[in-house]
């Protein structure tokens, strides 16, 4: 089920969204949905990273190579 969210945008931003959406052959709604989904994913990733990095450091894991050695 979908719901509607009304957002007020500066005129210039609205034009940029329209231009970018047309370039990608998307509707403005789909363009904004994708942009919001990307941002939400980034937020979730960063939250996980903030939680897991201290745990990794406590186990002596600092680089990708450290992780690779541990799991190999």
7-16, 34-43, 61-70: least confident range: 61-70
pLDDT band at 17 (very low <50, low <70, confident <90, very high): very high
Tell me 71's DSSP state.
Answer: H
pLDDT band at 14 (very low <50, low <70, confident <90, very high): very high
pTM, whole model, 2 decimals?
0.75
CA 66 to chain centre: 26
């Amino acid at each position: 089920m979908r719901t509607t969210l009304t957002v007020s945008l500066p005129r210039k931003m609205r034009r940029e969204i329209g231009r970018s959406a047309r370039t990608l052959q998307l509707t403005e709604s789909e363009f904004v949905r994708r942009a919001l989904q990307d941002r939400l994913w980034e937020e979730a990733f960063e939250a996980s990273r903030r939680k897991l990095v201290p745990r990794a450091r406590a186990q002596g894991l600092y680089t990708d190579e450290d992780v690779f050695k541990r799991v190999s």
